[in-house]
Structure 1
Amino acid sequence: MRKVIAHSRRTGGAGPAPGGGPETGSGDAAFDPALALPKKRSLAIAGHRTSITLEDAFWRELKATAEEQGRTVAALVAEIDAARGPAGLSAAIRVYLLGKKARAVASPPEAY
Structure 2
Amino acid sequence: MLDAPAKRSVTIGGHRTSVSLEDAFWKVLGQKARELGRPRAALIAEIDRKRPPEVGLATALRLFVLDSVQNHDPA
Identity of counterpart residues, as a percentage? 47
Choose between structure 1 and 2: higher helix proportion: 2
Shift of residue 39 of structure 1? 0.1
Larger radius of gyration: 1
State the match for 2:67 in structure 1.
99
Match of 1:60 among 13, 23, 27: 27
Shift of residue 102 of structure 1? 1.1
Query: How many residues get paired?
Result: 72
Normalised by the size of structure 2, how large is the TM-score? 0.90
Normalised by the size of structure 1, how large is the TM-score? 0.61
Q: Which has the higher contact order (CA 8 A, sep 6+)?
A: 2
Listed as ranges, the gaps of 5+ residues in structure 1 are 1-31, 108-112
Listed as ranges, the gaps of 5+ residues in structure 2 are none
3-state SS of paired residue (1:50): strand
State the match for 1:90 in structure 2.
58
Measured on the aligned residues, the alpha-carbon RMSD in Å equals 1.2
